Amino acid sequence: MAKIMLVDDAAFMRMMVKKALTDSGYDNFVEAQDGAEAVKKYEEENPDMVIMDITMPNMDGLQALKAIRGNHPDAKIVMCTAMGQESMVVDAIKSGAKDFIVKPFNQERIVETVKTILGQ
């Protein structure tokens, strides 16, 4: 089963994404609460994909995306964004993000995105 890293400074958001994916049969997760922790845990855990918030303290999602992709050009990273952050989404896609999910989350969209990115 694929290992998925969930990165968001809000534990509640990580829990929501995890529940949506658990309900669809995924059960192997790594969690990080900011971009700096995500970069470190990516090196340690080598997840199959990452679902990462853009706006976080310490190191935001765009910085973490660039750091991870700098060392792992094939990293599969999906960004999460709130409505109204279109310019950040464009930056994320230009920096190598595979897709983005808009908050508030739609459970079906999360599962569909993960399956597409993982080729399942």
Contact 18, 29 (CB under 8 A): yes
Containing structural domain, residue 78: 3-118
Which domain CATH number covers 109?
Answer: 3.40.50.2300
What's the pLDDT tens digit per position in 13-71? Answer: 999 999 999 999 999 999 999 999 999 999 999 999 999 999 999 999 999 999 999 99
For the entire predicted model, the pTM comes to: 0.94
- Would you state the pLDDT for residue 83? 67
Domain count along the chain: 1
What's the pLDDT tens digit per position in 105-116? Answer: 889 999 999 999
What's the pLDDT tens digit per position in 66-109? Answer: 999 999 999 999 999 886 677 888 889 999 999 999 888 889 99
Q: In whole angstroms, how large is the CA radius of gyration of the chain? A: 13
Q: Which two tokens stand for residue 31?
A: 């969690």
The contacts of residue 29 (CB under 8 Å, 6+ apart) are 3, 4, 5, 6, 18, 21
